[in-house]
Structure 1
Amino acid sequence: MVRLHLHLVSDSTGETLEMIAKAALARFEDADVVRHFWPMVRSQQHLDRIMPTLQDNPGLVLYTLVNDDTRARLEDRCHALGITAVPVLDQVTEALEAKLGQEAHGKPGRQHILDEAYFNRVEAIQFTIAHDDGVLHEDWEEADMLLAGVSRSSKTPTSIYLANRGYKVANIPLVVESPPPQALYNLKRPLIVGLTSSPERLVQIRRNRLLSLNENKQTAYADEDRVREEVKFARRIFADKGWPIIDVTRRSIEETAAAIIKLYNERDLQRAEKIGGPV
């Protein structure tokens, strides 16, 4: 298998570049890729400091640099080394310039200006962390989404991912011996989604969790029959309440979150149509 050294060079946080690279790499199975992450490259001096590593590990360079001099220096050095360098946003930017009839601003990190959306995202993250694992159920009506499911069904990581997209998310574990608070069934605002997984997968995850805690005793927490009972219990609640269900067994966190956002948008569209509001 060929090993690829992938260099991600950005003049800002590199978050956008990292997401693009991750999305593209997801289309290649079992790719042996070593990522080298170079954020905040805003000067030729900084660029010169990373070039020895790039020279020692040639591969592919993906970059988002807006400064013309820094871009030109990177392109010249890569050309001299025989390394392909791809400006990943150029085609999109050029197409937007043509359609909007104006030139794009050349300020590094402009997409991360502290605007209202940024502060909304911070607020969503704070809310989500504070309402993890069934805590503060009296505030659930303020949430955009609520995720329910048995232990280790990806509720927390999915909630945090959604919070980073600007959604306020609460989550609650469903436990056979401890029925959820009545408040869960009276919610009007949040979209409630049930997360489930195959018992076999849950058992594997829970056993790994116990091992990481140096817990070697046999417990009901990772007993397959017990886990099957938990999954059935949760599914009955989802079915009785008519909540949408997402099986996370073979889904990544990103895929699960995308499915939830789609459900959320579809519900908002249906509500708008019912009251004759904007679609």
Structure 2
Amino acid sequence: MPVLHLHLLSDSTGETLEMIAKAALAQFDEADIQRHFWPMVRSKQHLDRIVPDLAANPGLVLFTLVNDETRARLEEHCRILGLPAVPVLDAVTAALEDHLGQEAHGRPGRQHAMDEAYFARVEAIQYTIAHDDGVGHEDWEEADIVLAGVSRSSKTPTSIYLANRGYKVANIPLVVESPPPRELFKLRRPLVVGLTTAPERLVQVRRNRLLSIAEGRETSYADAERVAEEVRFARRMFADNDWPVIDVTRRSIEETAAAVIRLYSERAHRSTPPVVGPKPI
């Protein structure tokens, strides 16, 4: 399969563009992609310095450029070079303009403005890092979400992903010999979610973990019977406390986080009091 040169041009950090490209590429098996990433393209001069690479590595150009002159210049270069250029947000922006009845602001990096939401996300990340792996249980009540599960059930990466979405997350490993702190069972504000996985998959993950840290001695950490017992222990705890459970066996971190967010949103919706109209006279 020939190499596809994928050029990503953004007038901001390029985070949005990279996520869109990643999501689209996931639909294609064994695609040989070479990415060329160009963030903060905010002038015609900057763009002109990129053109030689476009010419040397012809392929597909995806861009998010809101400045009319810059994007027109890119489109003209791509036309001359015979390269397809796709403005990935245009269709969504046009639909929003149509439904909202207003014109979009052509302001580069607007979605990354240091507004209240930005600082809330920073606070969420700081909280989540400080409450990883069972630390800081005294103030778990401040969390939005608490993830519980046995070791290597994706608690930490899922927590960090959720924190980047603005959620304060604490997580705790469930260990048969060491009961969780009592605070876990008294939480009212946070949504507690149990993460579980197939024991055989967990054994493989743990064995790989031991190899990565050059741990060669015999240990029950990756023993099949021991792992199955841990998973049963965690599942009983989830059931006894009526916590929602997500099986992460075949889920990516993004898919697990999306499932957690859906549970969180559903609970928030249920807890919102209904709007009561005026009583009839």
The code of the aligned residue for 1:75 comes to E
The within-5 A match list for 1:120-269 is 120-269=120-269
User: In the alignment, what sits opposite 1:15?
Assistant: 15
User: In the alignment, what sits opposite 2:105?
Assistant: 105
User: In the alignment, what sits opposite 1:60?
Assistant: 60
The code of the aligned residue for 2:96 comes to L
Q: Equivalents in 1 of 2:210, 2:257: separation in Å?
A: 26
How many residue pairs get matched? 276
User: In the alignment, what sits opposite 1:3?
Assistant: 3
How far off is 1:26 after superposition?
2.2
Give aligned-pair identity as a percent: 75
User: In the alignment, what sits opposite 1:71?
Assistant: 71
Please list the CA deviations of residues 248-270 of structure 1 after superposition, one character each: whole Å capped at 9, or x if unmatched: 01100110011011111111111
How far off is 1:70 after superposition?
1.2
How far off is 1:74 after superposition?
1.1
Moved over 4 A (4+): none
Partner of 2:249, secondary structure, is coil
How far off is 1:96 after superposition?
2.3
Q: Equivalents in 1 of 2:269, 2:101: separation in Å?
A: 32
Please list the CA deviations of residues 71-108 of structure 1 after superposition, one character each: whole Å capped at 9, or x if unmatched: 11211111111110000111222222233333222221
How far off is 1:218 after superposition?
2.1
How far off is 1:5 after superposition?
1.7
User: In the alignment, what sits opposite 2:44?
Assistant: 44
Q: Equivalents in 2 of 1:17, 1:33: separation in Å?
A: 15
How far off is 1:245 after superposition?
0.8
The code of the aligned residue for 2:194 comes to G
Q: Equivalents in 2 of 1:95, 1:234: separation in Å?
A: 46
Structure 2 unpaired stretches of 5+: 277-281
The code of the aligned residue for 1:62 comes to L
How far off is 1:277 after superposition?
5.5
- What TM-score results when the alignment is normalised by the length of structure 2? 0.94
User: In the alignment, what sits opposite 2:274?
Assistant: 276
Structure 1 unpaired stretches of 5+: none
How far off is 1:2 after superposition?
3.8
Q: Equivalents in 2 of 1:2, 1:236: separation in Å?
A: 51
* Structure 1 vs Structure 2 CA RMSD: 1.4
Pairing 1:90–2:115 present: no
The code of the aligned residue for 2:29 comes to E
The code of the aligned residue for 1:126 comes to Q
User: In the alignment, what sits opposite 2:279?
Assistant: none
How far off is 1:64 after superposition?
0.4
Does 136-145 or 224-233 show the bigger shift? 224-233
Q: Equivalents in 2 of 1:98, 1:240: separation in Å?
A: 50
The code of the aligned residue for 2:51 comes to M
Partner of 2:33, secondary structure, is strand
The code of the aligned residue for 1:64 comes to T
